[in-house]
A and B are shown apart, each in its own frame.
Chain A
Amino acid sequence: MKTIDDKRINRLLARNGVRFGIYKNGTFNEQLFPFDSIARVITHLEFETLQAGLIQRVDALNAFLEDIYHDGNAVRDGVVPEEFVYSAKGYLPECADITPPGSIHSHISGIDLVQDVDGSWTILEDNLRIPSGASYPLIARELSRIASPETFREQSIVDNRDYGDMLREAMDYANPGGISVILTPGRYNAAYFEHSYLAEKTGALLVGSASLFVKNNKLYHKDYKGGEVRVGAVYRRISDEYLDPLTFLPESLIGVPGIMDAYRAGNVALLNAPGNGVADDKGIYYFVPAMIRYYLGEKAVLKNAPTYLPFFEKDMELVMDRLDELVVKDVAEAGGYGVVFGSSLNGEDLEKLRQAVIAEPRRFIAQEVVDFRDMDVKENGETVPRKADLRAFVVTGSETRVWASGLTRFSRDPDSCIVNSSQGGGFKDTWVLSR
């Protein structure tokens, strides 16, 4: 088998501007995202199971979002406790009673999984707000095909270049009339490369908020000549709280005043819908298998990591007993922040954590440390084992589909299990075999 030249791909990635930005202590830095050429390989059979499990999960999460922004049956029927829904930071009462086109709330879902030592998959978390990262394996594959065409000719690897089409289909399906745009906060956003790349791949217009305006409950784009054209779908890459200064944070300069009017009136699709944060809350995660049973009448195909909610008394007891073995996560944090391994703490810090959990049980979840499979990574010419996860992209338009690829992220630090790119990790391509 021909191998792919890491150095060459990384050089090409740099030339193509494949970067992500990090804010640290108030300054903005752009970093390259190191690529490792040893791909994660998912067999055809394995992918079939993954696919079934992911589609089921995303369909249930979409049903949950539609439910809690309307009648709240799942709460009334005791599937999810009230406290985990209506007091969640991600629950936006401003979105109550809105039915988005096709009742789809999460069009693009990024589901993070790890493969256990025994080969089975475990869901780590759901990302239903603005999951980013699809552009990295997409461009890495494109460049790898240039660098080593034989690799892809000689092996049965499912082509992943259809991501732009999948995304476009989701936009078109939800679009009630007008053009489709990708709304970016601009080049100081961590994922600006991705915004521009996906605009290129989908044919959607890349726009900033200054060129959008709302009139009579409809959204319009104003071009450089002052021409106005109706906008029907917005793949928005700005977070909920900045989306509309007349509804959410009044100080937002990157949002579009009145866009919630157009959205509520059914005149524009927002991908993803605002308010999705309530369903990818780390606390809600615990209830997803129950949601799958409740909405779909099915048993969950993919398992959750064993999770305890200190909110429940019996779980609190267990968490207190085994705090030094568990991993504790702050439900309000993302991007690998607010994750603490009990085993890594000294007595004093462990006690601090204990007090924090006792003071605000709803704020934390505790999980068993998943012993996930190491993956080979090339480092200075040697192959070393590193922890890695997989972000699978699930796209919902006329139907829910799983992209036959995904972002495999690995930790470059041999002692760390945290693979987030904002924490300095690297990435791999993910190959799904066609047979």
Chain B
Amino acid sequence: MNAEKFSRFRFSYHIQEEYDSQIMKQNVSLRALPQTDARQRICALSMHCPDFDCWTNSDGFGNRHWSLCCSDPHRTFDFTVEGTVLLSAAARCAGKDHPIYHMQTALTRPSSEMEGFSNEIKRPEDRSDGDCLAFAEAMSEKLYSDMSYRPGITGTGTTAAQAFELRGGVCQDYAHILLGLLRYHGISCRYAAGLAFESGKTHAWVEVYDRGSWYGIDPTNQCAAGTGYLKFSHGPDAFAASVSRGVYCGSAAYRTDIRSELKRV
């Protein structure tokens, strides 16, 4: 029997873009379509995006996304998804591993400095024996004590090596650095994006594969990603798991406003 404790949450994710002149042929792909798994159960879900055609699909990593398109001239994009979910207190989710999660990407590849840093923690002797998680937790703790949370000093394209050099950044940078350090030791791990902590922002953390399950670790807050973490997507890095991507025809400048919420009810 599954005796894990679940709590009920309401969530919403809202993205609004305004363009200073008319644009055409806009296509947006939003991985804001959370899936039911062992640690999150989607109870109700509704989506609203006026004037856009919408359909859903999945990607190669097992995420689902909304595809939205509007060919007519327009000046706004206004998308809302909301729902209720049951979130487990445990950070564990049974699942399958894939070799791509042991491979470094351009965003996670460690510098020699990072390799040196990671070697200060004792490697797991036997990967099959399941001390990957303990090792990952120790690494996350060490990273947390060495880094400082500094919004604005990094961007979406900042690599793990660059952020490590600065010893600072935001959740994306913490996650990339931890991925780089763990993969350097042959541990399978992936980038997770979603909502967390009753905060108004999207968040990123890391999932580590150990004994047939994925375990969420949040290096930015130095805790397990248990209650209060709603996952939208995962992938080898932030680019692959990105929540929103889009293109449009036009030369307009735009202003983006993203608001999200995750609240216990």
Interface contact A72-B60, CB-CB below 8 Å: no
Interface contact B236-A93, CB-CB below 8 Å: yes
Residues of A within 8 A of B58 (CB): 264
The answer to whether A332 has its CB under 8 Å from any CB of chain B is: no
Across the interface, A98 reaches (CB within 8 A) one of B55, B60, B61, B100, namely B60
Across the interface, B60 reaches (CB within 8 A) one of A75, A92, A258, namely A92
Q: Which of B114-153 contact A (CB under 8 A)?
A: none
Across the interface, B61 reaches (CB within 8 A) one of A82, A96, A217, namely A96
Residues of B within 8 A of A246 (CB): 27-29, 67, 245-247
Residues of B within 8 A of A185 (CB): none
Q: Which of B35-58 contact A (CB under 8 A)?
A: 53, 55, 57-58
Whole-angstrom distance between the alpha carbons of A75 and B27 in the complex? 37
Among the interface residues B29, B61, B245, which one has the most CB atoms of the partner chain A within 10 A?
B29
Interface contact A86-B59, CB-CB below 8 Å: no
The answer to whether A85 has its CB under 8 Å from any CB of chain B is: yes
Among the interface residues A245, A257, A265, which one has the most CB atoms of the partner chain B within 10 A?
A257
The answer to whether B69 has its CB under 8 Å from any CB of chain A is: yes
Among the interface residues A95, A96, A246, A264, which one has the most CB atoms of the partner chain B within 10 A?
A246
Interface contact B57-A87, CB-CB below 8 Å: no
Minimum distance in angstroms from B60 CB to a CB of chain A: 4
The answer to whether A189 has its CB under 8 Å from any CB of chain B is: no
Chain A residue at minimal CB-CB distance from B68: A258
The answer to whether A250 has its CB under 8 Å from any CB of chain B is: yes
Report if A215-B53 is in contact (Cβ < 8 Å); known contacts: A93-B60, A245-B247, A258-B27: yes
Q: Which of A166-185 contact B (CB under 8 A)?
A: none
Binary flags per residue of B169-191, CB closer than 8 Å to A gives 1, else 0: 00000000000000000000000
Chain B residue at minimal CB-CB distance from A88: B103
Minimum distance in angstroms from A304 CB to a CB of chain B: 25
Interface contact A86-B55, CB-CB below 8 Å: no
Whole-angstrom distance between the alpha carbons of A239 and B71 in the complex? 25
Residues of A within 8 A of B57 (CB): 217, 261, 264-265
Residues of A within 8 A of B (CB-CB), count = 28
Report if A93-B100 is in contact (Cβ < 8 Å); known contacts: A213-B69, A246-B245, A261-B67: yes
Residues of A within 8 A of B104 (CB): 87
Report if A72-B99 is in contact (Cβ < 8 Å); known contacts: A93-B240, A214-B69: yes
Whole-angstrom distance between the alpha carbons of A213 and B72 in the complex? 13
Binary flags per residue of A92-128, CB closer than 8 Å to B gives 1, else 0: 1111111000000000000000000000000000000
Interface size class on chain B is: 20 to 34
Minimum distance in angstroms from A92 CB to a CB of chain B: 7
Interface contact A258-B61, CB-CB below 8 Å: no
Interface contact B99-A216, CB-CB below 8 Å: no
Interface contact A250-B245, CB-CB below 8 Å: yes
Whole-angstrom distance between the alpha carbons of A214 and B100 in the complex? 29
Interface contact A93-B247, CB-CB below 8 Å: no
Residues of B within 8 A of A257 (CB): 27, 69, 247
Chain B residue at minimal CB-CB distance from A69: B60
Residues of B within 8 A of A213 (CB): 25, 69, 71
Chain B residue at minimal CB-CB distance from A263: B57
The answer to whether A422 has its CB under 8 Å from any CB of chain B is: no
Q: Which of B233-265 contact A (CB under 8 A)?
A: 235-236, 240, 245-247
Whole-angstrom distance between the alpha carbons of A91 and B71 in the complex? 33
Binary flags per residue of A364-396, CB closer than 8 Å to B gives 1, else 0: 000000000000000000000000000000000
Whole-angstrom distance between the alpha carbons of A96 and B71 in the complex? 30
Report if A216-B60 is in contact (Cβ < 8 Å); known contacts: A93-B100, A93-B240, A261-B67: no
Whole-angstrom distance between the alpha carbons of A216 and B67 in the complex? 8
Among the interface residues B28, B55, B102, which one has the most CB atoms of the partner chain A within 10 A?
B55
Minimum distance in angstroms from A197 CB to a CB of chain B: 30
The answer to whether A247 has its CB under 8 Å from any CB of chain B is: yes
Minimum distance in angstroms from A273 CB to a CB of chain B: 13
Q: Which of A253-289 contact B (CB under 8 A)?
A: 257-258, 261, 264-265
Across the interface, A86 reaches (CB within 8 A) one of B100, B235, B247, namely B100
Chain B residue at minimal CB-CB distance from A68: B99
Whole-angstrom distance between the alpha carbons of A327 and B117 in the complex? 39
Minimum distance in angstroms from B236 CB to a CB of chain A: 7
Residues of B within 8 A of A214 (CB): 27, 67, 69
Minimum distance in angstroms from A175 CB to a CB of chain B: 20
Interface contact B69-A258, CB-CB below 8 Å: yes
Among the interface residues B59, B104, B240, which one has the most CB atoms of the partner chain A within 10 A?
B59
30 residue pairs of the A-B complex, CB under 8 angstroms, read A72-B99, A75-B99, A86-B99, A86-B100, A86-B102, A86-B103, A87-B103, A91-B100, A92-B60, A93-B60, A93-B61, A93-B100, A93-B235, A93-B236, A93-B240, A94-B59, A94-B60, A97-B60, A215-B69, A216-B55, A217-B67, A246-B27, A246-B67, A246-B246, A257-B69, A257-B247, A258-B67, A261-B67, A264-B59, A265-B57
| Residues of chain B having any CB pair with chain A under 8 Å | 25, 27-29, 53, 55, 57-61, 67, 69, 71, 98-100, 102-104, 235-236, 240, 245-247
Knowing that A250-B245, A257-B69 touch, tell me 19 more A-B residue pairs with CB under 8 angstroms: A82-B99, A87-B104, A93-B98, A93-B236, A96-B60, A96-B98, A213-B25, A214-B69, A217-B57, A245-B27, A245-B247, A246-B28, A246-B247, A250-B247, A257-B247, A258-B69, A261-B55, A261-B57, A264-B58
A-B pairs, top 8 by smallest CB distance, nearest first, are A257-B27, A96-B60, A86-B99, A246-B29, A94-B60, A261-B57, A216-B55, A87-B103
